[in-house]
Amino acid sequence: MERDVEVEPGVTLWVEDLPAQGAGGEPVLLVMGANASGMAWPDALVERLRTRHRVVRYDHRDTGRSSYAFDEHPYAVADLAGDATAVLDACGIARAHVVGMSMGGTLAQLLALDAPDRLASVTLLCTAALSADRDGLPGPAPELLRMWQEMADPRDERSELAWRVEHWRRLHGTALAFDAREFRALEQRLNAHAGRSDSPAAHAQADPGGLDRGDELATITVPTLVVEAPEDPVNPPPHASHLAERIGSAARLVTIPGMGHALPAGVVTPVAEAILSHAASAEGAARRR
């Protein structure tokens, strides 16, 4: 089922709410990364999660079919965590397993700090610990930083598609073979979903204030799975192990071999199995309590 959720006057989010196809665990909320539509979550991953869980994914503000209104309604990155709870409210979900990718992992950390009662568990993919200075760990690869300077540049539809595929190539890493056709098809699907082909870039303009909360991570009690992507050029190792260490006893670290800052077909199964196993473990621990 699709619905529009108003998060503030004049700003709505597109939400897709899919029922579980098997024995039901608690719902899963998928939170995508910066400037990315919820439809960037691979359907194969969504369908695997639906074997046990109701799955909700949504378009952030200024992506996909949600409102493009940053100039009229500016916001901070941290405000997008509130959007996630608004989506849960609109779907009538009291608690969910929250899975965050990249910036979505940043938002999931904020939820674990500020709304732990709404979370059955957290899974963090390709993300860094909340910190103003990245705790002195490596930053994004220089070639990505150069590309990001071009993100909002005007391009025709064909050039935009080529730019995005090349961006995915840089994000993907080199351990697994990069299939340009797979990511071209993904971007064509995202454009068809959004009804537009220009590059969303509002999140790069959003205020980063309120994210320097690394010292609070040790207070997280929500069961947290931190997924290390060894080929990630945005948050490369040891970011994942550092994040797990900052959270402490509530966190567990797993590595998906060959994974970069993307979800190609080759990593969907191990990522899905990691999420499912973590969710089942969290639910089992909650029942025992």
Catalytic residues: 102, 232, 261
d(CA 243, CA 232): 15
**Cβ distance 152 to 199 under 8 Å?**
yes
Three-class SS string for the chain? CEEEEEEECCEEEEEEEECCCCCCCCCEEEECCCCCCHHHCCHHHHHHHCCCCCEEEECCCCCCCCCCCCCCCCCECCHHHHHHHHHHHHCCCCCEEEEEECHHHHHHHHHHHHCHHHEEEEEEECCCCCCCCHHHCCCCCHHHHHHHHCCCCCCCHHHHHHHHHHHHHHHHCCCCCCCHHHHHHHHHHHHHHHCCCCCCCHHHCCECCCCCCHHHHHHCCCCEEEEECCCCCCCCCCHHHHHHHHHCCCEEEEECCCCCCCCCHHHHHHHHHHHHHHHHHHHHHHHHC
The number of beta carbons lying within 10 Å of the beta carbon of residue 192 is 11
Q: Which of 12-32 are b and which e, b meaning 16 or more Cβ less than 10 Å from the residue's Cβ?
A: bbbbbbbebeeeebbbbbbbb
